[in-house]
Every structure is written in C-alpha cells, then in structure tokens.
Chain A
Amino acid sequence: MMLSVRDLAVSRGGVPVLEGVSFALAPGRALVLRGPNGSGKTTLLRTVAGLQPPFSGEIAGAGERIAYAGHSDGLKAMLTVTENLRFWAQVFGTRDISAALRDFDLAQLDSRLAGTLSAGQKRRLGLARLMVTGRPVWVLDEPTVSLDAASVGLFAAAVRAHLAAGGSALMATHIDLGIPEAEVFDVTPFKAVPRAAKQDEAFL
C-alpha cells in the first residue's frame, strides 16, 4: 500500500506554511524532504504522522502504518537501553528487540541507563525504536543529528534493510544521509501564500 499525499496544506498555529503538496511513496522507496529552516518540513511530517490535522487536502495510507521519530527521542533517562526498547516493543505489540540492538550497535550498552548515554548514543537508541514498532512507513525528522560518520552508516544500513523488506521512509534533513537512492522532494516551491490563520479568518 502506498503512502500518498494529495494537495495537502499544513499549518503551524493555524497559519498555513505549505500548500499544494502532493507526493506518493511506494513500498521499498525512500523520500527525502529538503528545504530551508522554518520551511515547514517538521509540520509536514507531524501532519503525515497524524499528530496534527491537515489544513486541507488528503493523506492516504498513513495512520496506523506510521512510525514517527521527531526531534526528541522520547527516552526515559531512568530506564536502561533494553527497558526503553522493550517498552516500545510491547506498546506496538512486537517482541524481538535483539535485531534493533544489533543493527544500531547498542548491544554492549544494553544495561546502561539511557540517561548516561552520549547524545549520539541516545539518538541511535531513538532510531532503534523504529525497528521494534514493526510499522512499514518510517517518518523521520532530522534522523542523523548528532550522529558520527559510523553511526550514519549504521542508520543508512538500517533504512536500506527496512526498504528491502518492503517498508518505506519519509525523511526531512539538511545533511547527507548516505542513502543516494532516495528521491528528493524540495518543499520550497510549495511555500504557502501568506494568509490569515484559520482561527483569524472569521475576524478579517
């Protein structure tokens, strides 16, 4: 099943930031969103992930198929790496966390408290969470922030494995992800015409 977005407009605080966005993401494919800071990439990802309602337009094939990873990793400092992962596995109704630990090179850290990890290790743990969700569409916001070159390589390998297994990935980034086969989607041309916020419309 494809993730498809048709004529989507997304809003921040009621003000549309992007409009007329259309794309489709087939299984096995990856799409990288690009655009300057504040152009609305995060808002677009949050909307696709279902965290906020679209301003207008349609999103199909999202909902319960999405695994979302935002700027913060949602880790609990007082739980160990294993406990953090196992919690999300249980929430998403999957069991096996060993593949996630292995692919993100977390096996040696498994009994460390997440609060004691370095920024890059935390990020890796945050990304490993995607693997235990068992969901086909990964929606990632700046996934490689604070990762070193080796870790970016791990991440790219994990995404490739996910694509090969029939998953897909939608990512926003400024940095090269090391996934050259991903298509690039520039959001700049879709900048919304300056317009009143939804809640203000009635008052103009």
Chain B
Amino acid sequence: MIALLTRDLRLAVRAGGGFGLGLAFFLIVTVLVPFGVGPETGLLSKIAPGVLWIGALLACLLSLDRIFALDWEDGSLDLLATAPLPMEGIVSVKALAHWITTGLPLVLAAPLLGVLLSLPADGYLWVLVSLAVGTPALSVIGTFGAALTVGLKRGGLLLSLLVLPLYVPTLIFGAEVARRGAEGLAVQTPLLMLGGISAGAIALLPFASAAVLRINLR
C-alpha cells in the first residue's frame, strides 16, 4: 500500500502534471475573478471565501480522471487487481495520493491567494481549516466518480456530471465555514457538518468505489 502511494506520488512529480495542474488552475481562477467582478476591495473581501472554495473544487475536479485512467490504459490496474492488495485499500490509497498531489497544495496555497482577494484577517485561519477538512472529502468522492467512469471513452464529461451534485454538500458547508469565519461569526455547526461529511466519505465511500471498480474490471 505504501509502495503504491510512493509510486503515485513519484509519478505525479515526474510527469509534472500532478502537482502543477490543479495549483495552476486554482491560481488562474482566483486571479481572473477580480478582472470579472471589478477591483473593489469590499466586494472582493466579501466573496473571497466562496471564490477560494470554488477554485479549489474546480481544480480538484480537473484532475479526477487521472486517478485511474493512466493505470487502466497501461494495464497496471489489472495487475494491481491480481496483487495481494484489497481493492478497498487500492482505492483509498489512490484517493490519498490524489489528495496529497491536488488537495494539499490547494490548502497551502489558499491563504496566499486570499491576499489577492483581500480576504479579511479573520478569514485566513478558517479558509485554511475548512479546506483542510473538506478537500479529503472532495478527493474520496472524486475517486468514486473516477472508478465509475474508468475505461469509458467519453468519461471526462460524464465524470464531471456525476461528481458535481455529489460535491454540493461539501461545497456548501466548506464555503459556509470560510464565510462565517471571515465575518467573525461562529463556525461550529458547519465545521462539524463538514468534518462529518469528510469522515463519513472516507470511511464508507471506498467500499462503493472498490465495488464499482471490480465491476468495471470484470
């Protein structure tokens, strides 16, 4: 399992795309928003938490089809399926690798990009916390979507369509934590809900993903 994780991380670093792609997309979104809505500081600081969350979510979505597609094409997925690793473990490691290569850089970059959007001072901590708690759920849910569409020719579009509605609760609670934090309100309820979603998704969805992957490999 650790071998699979280190392999995926190494591939992400070597192939370049992994770490850079999501991060670059995140940067582009947050830099473009002020051009779109105008440079007014008050407006920007009001929408900053939401923009950061949407940017992170889209950056995550962008890299989902890489989770299984490459292993599917070169046949490693078949070989992994015959290896002594449980399928649930494989999908969990894949989700973890996706989070480390995509989610974690986004979490770390978000405060920096918050400066560009004049995020209020109270907001930095809560943007960071909400993304740290919420992005694992995005990776795990995305892995489920990627397992559903692995091997399909027009998989990319379908993957986005399937995953988008599944992302809604995470986005709502995540952005709510960040928004309330930025406005200095109590964040406890949405933060608990966000943590609940993440924990539930991490605990249960790998079983669904593994079942789906087994069906697709059949």
A joins B in a complex = yes
Contact residues of A with B, CB < 8 Å? 49-53, 64, 66-79, 83, 87-88, 90-93, 129
A-B contact pairs, 10 of them (CB 8 A): A49-B82, A52-B217, A68-B82, A69-B79, A70-B75, A76-B7, A76-B11, A76-B76, A77-B74, A87-B3
B165 within 8 A of A: no
Per the bound structure, the CA–CA distance linking A68 and B84 in Å amounts to 12
Assess the A74–B75 pair: CB atoms within 8 A: yes
B interface: dominant SS: helix
In chain B between 60 and 85, which residues have their CB closer than 8 angstroms to a CB of chain A? Answer: 73-76, 78-85
Q: Is the CB of A92 within 8 A of B78?
A: no
Judge whether A91 and B78 touch: CB under 8 Å: no
Q: Are A78 and B11 in contact (CB under 8 A)?
A: yes
CB-based contact B217/A79 at 8 Å: no
B149 to chain A, nearest CB (A): 19
Main secondary structure, interface of A, reads loop
Q: Which of A51, A53, A72, A93 contacts B82 (CB 8 A)?
A: A51
Contact B84 A92 (CB under 8 A): yes
B218–A91 contact, CB under 8 A? no
Residues of A within 8 A of B218 (CB): 51-53
Q: How far is the CB of A164 from chain B (nearest CB, A)?
A: 24
> Which chain B residues border A91 with CB–CB below 8 Å?
3-4, 80, 83-85
Enumerate chain B interface residues (CB-CB to A < 8 A). Answer: 2-4, 7, 10-11, 14-15, 73-76, 78-85, 217-218
A79 touching B7, Cβ below 8 Å: yes
Shortest C-beta distance, B94 to chain A (Å), equals: 14
Contact flag A50-B74 (CB < 8 Å), given A78-B15, A79-B10, A79-B11: no
What are the nearest 10 A-B pairs in CB distance?
A72-B75, A90-B3, A74-B76, A78-B14, A74-B75, A74-B79, A68-B82, A91-B83, A87-B7, A52-B218
Of all chain B residues, the one with the shortest Cβ separation from A73 is B75
Nearest Cβ in chain B — how far from A149, in angstroms? 26
B80 engages A75 (CB within 8 Å): no
Measured between beta carbons, the chain B residues less than 8 angstroms from A74 are 74-76, 78-79
- Using A68-B78, A68-B79, A71-B75 as known contacts, say yes or no to A51 and B85 having CB atoms under 8 A apart: no
With the chains together, A170 CA to B82 CA distance in Å?
A: 16
Measured CB to CB, the nearest residue on chain A to B80 is: A91
Report chain A residues within 8 Å CB of B75.
70-74
Known: A71-B75, A72-B78, A87-B7. 10 other contacts (CB 8 A): A50-B82, A68-B78, A73-B74, A77-B74, A79-B7, A88-B83, A91-B3, A91-B80, A93-B84, A129-B79
Give bound CA distance, A87 to B75, whole Å.
15
Residues of B within 8 A of A87 (CB): 3-4, 7
Query: In this complex, what residue of B is CB-closest to A68?
Result: B82
Bound together, the chains give a CA A82 to CA B98 distance in angstroms of 24
Q: How far is the CA of A71 from the CA of B78 in the complex (A)?
A: 11
Tell me the complex Cα distance, A53–B218, Å. Answer: 7
Q: Which residues from chain A contact B7 at a C-beta distance below 8 Å?
A: 76, 79, 83, 87
Question: Are the C-beta atoms of A64 and B76 separated by less than 8 Å?
Answer: no
Note all chain B residues with C-beta closer than 8 A to A73. 74-75
Could you tell me the distance between the alpha carbons of A50 and B78 in the complex, rounded to whole angstroms? 10
CB of B4 within 8 A of CB of A79, answer no
Whether B217 pairs with A51 at a CB distance below 8 angstroms is: yes
CA distance A51 to B2 in the complex (A): 23
Could you say which residues of chain B place their CB within 8 Å of the CB of A75?
74, 76
In contact, B84 and A51 (Cβ under 8 angstroms) = no
Alpha-carbon distance between A88 and B82 when the two chains are bound, in angstroms: 11
A52 to B14, CA, bound (A): 33
